[in-house]
Amino acid sequence: MSDRQTVTTRRKPKPARTADRRQRRAGKWRRGWVIAVLAILAAFPLLFHRYVPNSFGNLGSLLDTFLPWVGLAVPILAVAALVRRSATAGVALLVPLAVWGLMYGHLMVPGKGGGAHDLRVLSHNVDAANPDPAKTAQDLLAADADVVALEEITPADLKVYKAQFAEAYPHVVARGTVALWSKFPVEESESVDVGFAWTRALRAEVSTPEGKVAFYVAHLASVRIGASGFTSNQRNDTIEQLGQQIAAEKLAGVIVMGDFNGTANDRSLAPLTAGLRSAQGAAGSGFGFTWPAKFPMARIDHIMVRGVVPTKAWVMNPTGSDHRPVVAEVRI
């Protein structure tokens, strides 16, 4: 064989190197079992939240309120799985991810609802401590709603809103700390007793070009989170009373707006929300969180309907209140 001729021979991998690779591959499945167990456990609150009782500190309602945030466990544990290079943990994370997706994935789908609308309605807890109600009023006017419901209005701020809304909304009903402004005539209105010493709910019949619609504006009792748990008994009493009033409503078209101090997932709101449809859930995109305004973590401000069809729903930018306004378009 000449010097110019070369012979290439393949060296077979040494058995030791092959064994090392196999050990590394096997190690990916043996590592991260603690992370995998935590991933499986993260699915349990999502799957079984209805079985968490309210008998102690209303823990069930507290979990219901912030349930979507349980999904944060997935990216946190995913980072841990990557650090550990654990294939087992990665597969286990598919369980809570799938459960969360089945429960909330539809909220991420754009283009829900749609079509022509007859009314645009807006609801906002304007905050009794709002430093600039006049600016808030101007922000709300920019939404060009046909009917505006406001909650937590002080007597002094009511004068400000009446002055700011006078030109756009000739019809106004104010009861206690809640009020309603309308571009269309209000034929009847009354306070709704929900068990407070002062009025926090009202009913108004608005005569729209498409027919009469019953509007309810409500501000339910506040809840507190403290050493004794999730304190919501007073709110739950108001839910019962308001729910009975709405269930007995004779008009076909019903729109309920206000600060419910609870999310649609909260089981305690069932007496009120039964038979009603969430405009955000039907025609909105995303979770539509409204509180607290600077970094919303829960949707406690609602527009719910019966006998009308939501075609679009969204949450406005902050206005100076500790809540964000909610808007919906509906077809009668």
pLDDT of residue 65: 87
| Residue-wise pLDDT tens digits, 122-157 | 999 999 999 999 999 999 999 999 999 999 999 999
pLDDT of residue 286: 92
Quick check: 181 and 165 in contact, CB under 8 A? Answer: yes
Rounded-to-integer distance, Cα 258 and Cα 280, Å: 13
DSSP state string for 13-63:
PPHHHHHHHHHHHHHHHHS-HHHHHHHHHHHHHHHHGGGS-STTTTHHHHH
| Residue-wise pLDDT tens digits, 15-54 | 556 655 555 555 567 788 999 999 999 999 999 999 998 7
* pTM, rounded to two decimals: 0.86
pLDDT of residue 112: 75
Rounded-to-integer distance, Cα 96 and Cα 38, Å: 10
**Which stretches of the chain drop beneath a pLDDT of 70?**
1-28, 57, 111, 197, 223-234
Q: How many CB atoms lie within 10 A of CB 171?
A: 17
Task: Tell me the CB-side half-sphere exposure of residue 99, using CA atoms within 13 A.
Answer: 22
